[in-house]
């Protein structure tokens, strides 16, 4: 069988349930093991930072991962690169948040924490449990060597208020804040497959959310979960069943990869 390069999103694709409470279906575990036994390459492709995804990578038995929305590459458990956002554009956006009195936080290192200059951001997002915020009074963004993500508190009304938001990639996953982060997993997938000497036509990707839209490329095979957003289903080559209804296993069986 021709070797394929499989890339799986985490939440809503590999894992059924919300952040911190979901689990991988037994059928998906069986499917992944079958792919390995058949000689295929498998990797995670996530918008999460490397640090926020590393425990899951290891727990699910993956050796390879595209993280940080396409800006991070891990091969054989070793981080090859994590590219930051454009620092000057980040400074412009954060300065605008300061001018308009909008709370913010940033990730400036590969850790499970984000950092805020005061208590306003953690207070605004305390109903969520995605990651812990550390307050660093007097945080000077100009002194940060790199900025990997920005988090901006507020409902969807702030999206039109921030002129500099459109200059950087961003997503919204909850009503409490915006994630300014890399959103092109396909960039990392292309790099990884090139490093491994593979062919893009042998790539297969699985996803379910809007941040997977750029990953669904005509260069390869794109599979949407049954629980995926409609925009992603419209770009998919194939739509499988829901994550909790053996979606990964069913798709792999359909194509004869397991």
Nearest-angstrom CA–CA distance, 105 and 154: 12
pLDDT the model gives residue 71: 97
Phi, psi of 115 (to 5 degrees): -125, 135
CATH code, domain with 108: 3.30.1240.10
pLDDT tens-digit map of 177-204: 999 999 999 999 999 999 999 999 999 9
Q: Are 104 and 28 part of one and the same domain?
A: no
> Is 119's pLDDT higher than 90?
yes
The 10s digit of each residue's pLDDT in 13-47 is 999 976 555 789 999 999 999 999 999 999 999 99
Last residue of a domain, one of 152, 180, 208: 180
Render the chain in DSSP notation, one character per residue.
Answer: ----EEEE-TBTTTBBSSTTT-B--HHHHHHHHHHHHTT-EEEEE-SS-HHHHHHHHHHTT-S-EEEGGGTEEEETTEEEEEPPP-HHHHHHHHHHHHHTT--EEEE-SSSSEEEESSSHHHHHTTT--S-EEEE-TT--GGG-S---EEEEES-GGGGTT-GGGGGS-EE-SSSSEEEE----HHHHHHHHHHHTT--GGGEEEEE-SGGGGGG--TTSEEEE-TTS-HHHHHH-SEE---GGGTHHHHHHHHTT--
DSSP bridge pairs for 75? 78
Query: For residue 199, what is the domain's CATH number?
Result: 3.40.50.1000
**Residue 223 and residue 193 share a domain:** yes
Whether residue 74 is found in the same domain as residue 97: no
- What does the alpha-carbon distance between residue 108 and residue 41 come to, in Å, rounded to a whole number? 31
Find all residues with CB under 8 Å of 55, minimum gap 6, and list them.
Answer: none
How many domains, the chain? 2
Query: Which tens digits make up the pLDDT trace of 223-255?
Result: 999 999 999 999 999 999 999 999 999 999 999
Tell me, what's the pLDDT at 19?
Answer: 57
Do 204 and 94 share a structural domain?
Answer: no
- In this prediction, residue 154 carries a pLDDT of 97
- Which residues, listed in sequence order, are joined to residue 116 by a DSSP beta bridge? 135
Q: How many CA atoms lie within 13 A of 72 on its CB side?
A: 30
Q: Is residue 27 domain-shared with residue 108, that is, in the same domain?
A: no
Query: Does 97 lie in the same domain as 35?
Result: no
* Domain co-membership, 139 together with 202: no
Bridge partner list, 113: 132
Distance CA 71, CA 82 (A): 5
Q: Do 53 and 121 share a domain, yes or no?
A: no
Residue 123 has pLDDT above 60, yes or no: yes
Q: Are both 95 and 129 inside the same structural domain?
A: yes
Inter-CA distances, 154 with 31, 124, 168, Å: 40, 8, 17
* 36/91 same-domain check: no
Residues 202-210: what's their mean pLDDT? 96
pLDDT at position 162, please? 98
Q: Within this chain, do residues 149 and 65 fall inside the same structural domain, yes or no?
A: no
Instruction: Give me the pLDDT at residue 21, please.
Output: 57
| pLDDT interval class at 1 (50, 70, 90) | low
The pLDDT, as a whole number, for residue 127 is: 87
Give the model's pLDDT for residue 18: 62
Using CA atoms, how far apart are residues 82 and 84, in angstroms rounded to an integer? 7
pLDDT tens, residue by residue, 51-93: 999 998 998 889 999 999 999 999 999 999 999 999 999 999 9
Enumerate residues 6+ apart whose C-beta is below 8 A from 3.
39, 40, 41, 198, 202
pTM tops 0.85: yes
Q: Residue 101's domain spans which residues?
A: 87-180
Identify the pLDDT of residue 254. 97
Q: Which of 180, 204, 221 is the last residue of a domain?
A: 180
Residue 222 sits at φ, ψ, to 5 deg, of -120, 125
Mean per-residue pLDDT over the chain, rounded:
95
Q: Round to whole Å and give the CA distance between 64 and 193.
A: 11
Dist CA 115 CA 55 (whole Å): 21
Is 55 in the same domain as 167? no
Last residue of a domain, which of 161, 180, 199? 180
Whether pLDDT at 6 is above 90 = yes
């Amino acid at each position: 069988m021709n070797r394929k390069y499989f890339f799986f999103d985490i939440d809503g694709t590999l894992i059924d349930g919300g952040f911190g409470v979901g689990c991988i279906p037994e059928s998906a575990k069986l499917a992944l093991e079958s792919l390995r036994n058949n000689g295929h390459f498998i990797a995670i492709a996530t918008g999460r930072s490397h640090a926020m995804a590393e425990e899951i990578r290891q727990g699910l038995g993956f050796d390879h991962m595209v993280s940080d929305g396409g800006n991070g590459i891990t091969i054989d458990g070793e981080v090859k690169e994590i590219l930051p956002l454009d620092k000057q554009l980040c400074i412009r956006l954060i300065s605008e948040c300061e001018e308009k009195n909008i709370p913010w936080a940033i990730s400036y290192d590969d850790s499970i924490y984000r950092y805020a200059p005061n208590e306003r951001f953690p207070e605004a997002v305390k109903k969520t449990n995605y990651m812990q915020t550390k307050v660093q009074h007097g945080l000077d963004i100009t002194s940060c060597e790199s900025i990997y993500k920005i988090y901006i508190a507020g409902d969807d009304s702030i999206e039109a208020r921030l002129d500099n938001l459109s200059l950087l990639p961003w997503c919204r996953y909850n009503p409490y804040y915006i994630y300014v982060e890399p959103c092109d997993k396909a960039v990392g997938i292309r790099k990884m497959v090139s490093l491994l000497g593979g062919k893009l036509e042998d790539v297969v990707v699985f996803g379910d959310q809007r941040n997977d839209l750029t990953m669904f490329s005509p260069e390869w095979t794109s599979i949407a979960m049954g629980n995926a957003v409609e925009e992603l289903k419209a770009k998919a080559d194939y739509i499988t069943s829901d994550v909790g209804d053996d979606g990964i296993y069913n798709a792999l069986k359909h194509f004869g990869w397991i």
